[in-house]
Structure 1
Amino acid sequence: MKPVTEPILCAAASAFDFGGPMVCDSHHYGEGHINDTFVVWRADHTKRFILQRINTDTFTDPAGLMENICGVTRHLRAKIQAEGGDPGRECLNVIPTLSGASYYIDTEGNAWRAYDFVENTVCLQQVGCEADFRTVAETLGKFQNQLADYPASTLHETIARFHDTPNRYANFEKALAADALGRAKTIAPEIAFIHARKKDCHVLLDQLAAGEIPLRVTHNDTKINNVLLDEATGKGICVIDLDTVMPGLSAYDFGDSIRTGANDCAEDEPDQSRVHFDLHLYEVFAKGYLSTAGSTMHTAEKRSLAWGAKLMTLECGIRFLTDYLEGDHYFHIARPNHNLDRARTQFTLVRQMEDVFDQMLEIVCPDNH
């Protein structure tokens, strides 16, 4: 997408019902890499808001996307209010346009949306301590619990087959067969690693198809920086970045959090001897997550969480290696073999999970291991 100009930004800000004239700041806000995010203020500086240009290259159906978000946040606000919470702070609140729509289309065809700014909060970019990781887990588990009775099948799929691991495997096989850059000959161990786990790729979707685990409303991008914490107390306040909220499995959300949080290395660590899956952090997160989500989950679904940790990590590694074979066109790279390093790190984590998989199952389902 083209860079956002000041006139386009100000026109977008003028389209929403912010309760008065606005002051625009063309500087991007936050750490996100998909949408363009800005902060805008009322002219009297009494209140600020988040204004976002939706990346329609990634999210091709902004109407369906915003229908999802509006439906889910309405449901969450009702639950929070019934529980005596503060829906203005504990849930994203969509600001309508002056015409009452949930999003605005500018003169260049870009889609925009706005939210209340949740004040006095922070989002973590990495796990600083066990307490923070448990807080994130509890907040994500509560999010799942509050949406347990939301009809998942009514949601739009904002990114088709996003966590369809068998489909990711099939895309890898296509890239391998094409071998567009002749790179396959240099990655035989990584190719063999994926091939040896072909059956594993089907485990979760086979369980869903057999009716063993339920379809749920899931976030599908549960990095720790998508949970806002209270600046003063450290308490989990609000789950943000709802673009990928769609039908899915609890194992997806649990697993992606473990993939990104239960290790002490960078995602692109080139030295595999420094990659370490932390079973203790896995246990910390699992106990926090189940303390708030567990009441809605039966035995098979709890067991699936361990599979989610393994398969979300494997799936991500497959995606990195597929992009490497295709010429690094999807994930931004900063050096040669960047995607290969990323893939190897994920595969090392998978190997280490496999070494302690029985313990992982015992942690999430101690009574029915």
Structure 2
Amino acid sequence: MMENALKGLQYFALQGAVDSIAPFGLGHINDSFLVQAEGKSYLLQRLNTSVFKTPQVIEGNLRALLAHAPELFAKHLRGTGGNYHEFDGEHWWRLQEFVPNSYSPNELQPNELREVSTGFGCFTAQFGSQPLEKYTESIPHFHDLHLRLRQLQAALEANAAGRLESVLAEVGQVQQFNWIAARFDKLVDEGLPLRICHNDAKAGNCLLSKPDSRFLKVVDLDTVGPGYALFDLGDMLRSMLFNVPENRENLESLSFSKERFHAIVNPFVEACSGVLKPIEIESLPFGGLYMTYIMAVRFLTDYLNGDIYYKVSHEKENLSRARNQLTILELMASSMA
């Protein structure tokens, strides 16, 4: 792995010798490395082309993002070929400056919830007037619930990993929430507008300042593209409202916190209300149900398929993630009805 990273780094003209390079972060998809060179820190990433099959699309989206609002993002370095993504014959790589005195929040105190929400709200506000045609979905139909439900059905029928009998209860839970797809369709029919979204809005994709926890940068931009505002707000509710690891199953002690709910929703609305239409603002809480449901479906599908999409540390991790999301979904649905 380190040998590959060093090879990828050669495509970026860093000043001075490389002092160290080491794996960094806990991302599900791409491989990341912290690079130290001549007293400066960089983040080197290898794009997972099993997931992101068209690196050229991600390159085009990144160029548009950095041209429009560079202050929102970490500085990316162009490679020796003049692009932000460089190909070494086997892998695609990119390099960005490591933002000093920054961190991605983990425990998520109320002030951190507000700052993360403000950050993604600022993103929505900045790109509210950007033409949709400047951006392309890096993963087509990424948040298409109907597609994800069809994929689950195909996984159930194939039972490729022989795990169907162990997830019948979870399949039943999924079926109980089919109404979410119909409600979303109704919102679209009523005029819910497409806009440029991050499409993976969670605390790990937002950098805060170490001294005072202020919002600094939005990161991990591979999924940026056309979407709906409720996708980003919903992803924050899904991943931040209950403050538990995504793979934790024992959630009996969880309860819905209005304080945390408002600490996520209100700053987002305040930051981007100038670009959002009334139907978007009204539908934002529903985004929590939509995004939690779609992730439960995706985790369960990957478990049935034999863990071919998400990285796992043990055989049942995707099942634990699916159970986690289904529990959170039930808590949301009962508290937001």
TM-score by length of 1: 0.84
Aligned to 1:191: 171
1:102-135 deviations in Å (ceiling 9; x for gaps): 22221x42111121222121111231x1011111
Aligned to 2:223: 244
The one-letter amino acid of 1:97's match is G
1:97 aligns with 2:117: no
- Write out aligned runs for 1:299-314 (5 A): 299-314=278-293
Aligned to 2:136: 156
Equivalent of residue 155 in structure 2, options 159, 164, 175: 175
Aligned to 2:102: 121
Q: 1:275 to 1:181 in 2, by over 3 A?
A: farther
- Write out aligned runs for 1:322-337 (5 A): 322-335=301-314, 337=316
Name the CA distance, whole Å, in 1 between partners of 2:11 and 2:298.
Answer: 39
- Write out aligned runs for 1:141-290 (5 A): 141-181=121-161, 183-208=163-188, 210=189, 212-290=191-269
Larger relative contact order (CA 8 Å, sep ≥ 6): 2
Aligned to 2:332: 353
The alignment of Structure 1 onto Structure 2 pairs a total of residues equal to 337
1:29 aligns with 2:24: yes
Question: 1:335: how far off?
Answer: 4.5
Q: 1:247 to 1:22 in 2, by over 3 A?
A: farther
Q: 1:265 to 1:27 in 2, by over 3 A?
A: closer
Q: 1:10 to 1:326 in 2, by over 3 A?
A: closer
SS in 2 for 1:274: coil
Name the CA distance, whole Å, in 1 between partners of 2:45 and 2:120.
Answer: 23
Aligned to 2:66: 73
Name the CA distance, whole Å, in 2 between partners of 1:280 and 1:30.
Answer: 29
Q: 1:188 to 1:113 in 2, by over 3 A?
A: closer
TM-score by length of 2: 0.91
After superposing the two structures, state which structure 1 stretch, 268-277 or 228-237, moved more: 268-277
1:29-58 deviations in Å (ceiling 9; x for gaps): 333342232333444x3x333222222222
SS in 2 for 1:49: strand
1:14-41 deviations in Å (ceiling 9; x for gaps): 43244x3341523123333422323334
Aligned to 1:80: none
Name the CA distance, whole Å, in 2 between partners of 1:148 and 1:165.
Answer: 24
The one-letter amino acid of 1:195's match is Q
Question: 1:334: how far off?
Answer: 4.2
Larger Rg: 1 or 2? 1
Name the CA distance, whole Å, in 1 between partners of 2:230 and 2:286.
Answer: 7
Name the CA distance, whole Å, in 2 between partners of 1:347 and 1:51.
Answer: 34
Name the CA distance, whole Å, in 2 between partners of 1:351 and 1:12.
Answer: 44
Name the CA distance, whole Å, in 2 between partners of 1:182 and 1:232.
Answer: 50
Contact residue 152 and residue 216 of structure 1 kept, 8 A: yes
Name the CA distance, whole Å, in 1 between partners of 2:211 and 2:240.
Answer: 23
Contact residue 227 and residue 240 of structure 1 kept, 8 A: yes
Q: 1:13 to 1:139 in 2, by over 3 A?
A: same
Question: 1:181: how far off?
Answer: 5.0
